[in-house]
Amino acid sequence: MTQLTITTPDDWHLHFRDGDMLRETVPATARCFRRAIVMPNLVPPVTNAQMLTEYRQRIIDARPVGSLFEPLMTLYLTNSTTAADIRAAKAAGAVAAKLYPAGATTNSDAAVSALDALFPIFAEMAEQSMLLLVHGEVTDKHVDIFDREKEFIDRHLRRIVESFPQLKVVFEHITTADAAHFVLEASAQVAATITPQHLMLNRNDMLVGGIRPHNYCLPVLKRSTHQQALRDVVASGSAKFFLGTDSAPHEKHRKESACGCAGCYSAWSAIELYAQVFEDLGCLDKLEGFASHYGADFYGLARNTDEITLVREPWQIPEQIVLPNGNPIVPFHAGQTVNWKLQLTQE
């Protein structure tokens, strides 16, 4: 196969950041995705309807001229979130709210530290048909970082799903066989997103031969057996799993530092990288469902009606991208060859 045409895909999990960074991240995403679920972990985080509305406008203002790209907004949950906040966010257009355990990832210090106290909020979300998006890791220091996803499932996620059977839950950027099995066995109200990095890499790609900071993300890359479990579920064509890049830009000096910020910036090559994975797995026919259908169906939104075309034409991902402020950023898979390329057309 040398050409593949699919319904225009959506990205069901990404980070645009804010300010000048939007002039890079929004066009990079809009080049191939029609919609995207926008993460709210800014500084300060998007915790109310007014902040959500203002952030959405900043994203729209950063779209390329003539772009039809639509940001889908989310509310950042804290232990101060009220039922009124949920209703106001829903009225302002929010489709979901995001649960970060405090300290789990970038800009999550203000997030949830007492999860059980949010159960009344989950009840209101179910009433409002607002999805719950979950960063599924515990943050206890005594729990090994490679075990934190499984521990979250056992300690928290099972109880949430059982307590609120009408609440739609997206287990985001899953990384383990435990998470894949949990989603498969759960009700139709539970689904998951999977990133390109967790399909393409395992922890050896981050640690062997020296630390590779640009492959460092949270949740962290796991064993090859967990990577294979994720590859198996996408190859199966299960509608419970769909595309969510978790594209998360950081300037180069912030990645290559003592901080070592977590995140892979994959927007520049996301759909092409997924196509390469599906081709490697011998299931290119399953890409359209994963990228373009299952997420919209789970969110209760109409599927896109236009199409994109990928051609089998090797190209090299740039070694770095210069941001509007002049600082470089290293994209995921930088300098490496990808076999599929988006065929660009005029809107």
Which residues are marked as active site? 246
SS (H, E, C) 24-52: HHHHHHHCCCCEEEECCCCCCCCCCHHHH
Q: Determine whether the annotation assigns residue 142 to a binding site.
A: no
Q: Determine whether the annotation assigns residue 36 to a binding site.
A: no
Q: Determine whether the annotation assigns residue 333 to a binding site.
A: no
Q: Determine whether the annotation assigns residue 246 to a binding site.
A: yes
Q: Determine whether the annotation assigns residue 286 to a binding site.
A: no
Q: Determine whether the annotation assigns residue 15 to a binding site.
A: yes
Q: Determine whether the annotation assigns residue 98 to a binding site.
A: yes
Contact 87, 128 (CB under 8 A): yes
Q: Determine whether the annotation assigns residue 173 to a binding site.
A: yes
Q: Could you tell me which residues are annotated as the binding site for substrate?
A: 15-17, 41, 135, 218, 250, 262
**Residues placed in the known binding site for Zn(2+):** 13, 15, 98, 135, 173, 246
Provide the annotated binding site.
13, 15-17, 41, 98, 135, 173, 218, 246, 250, 262
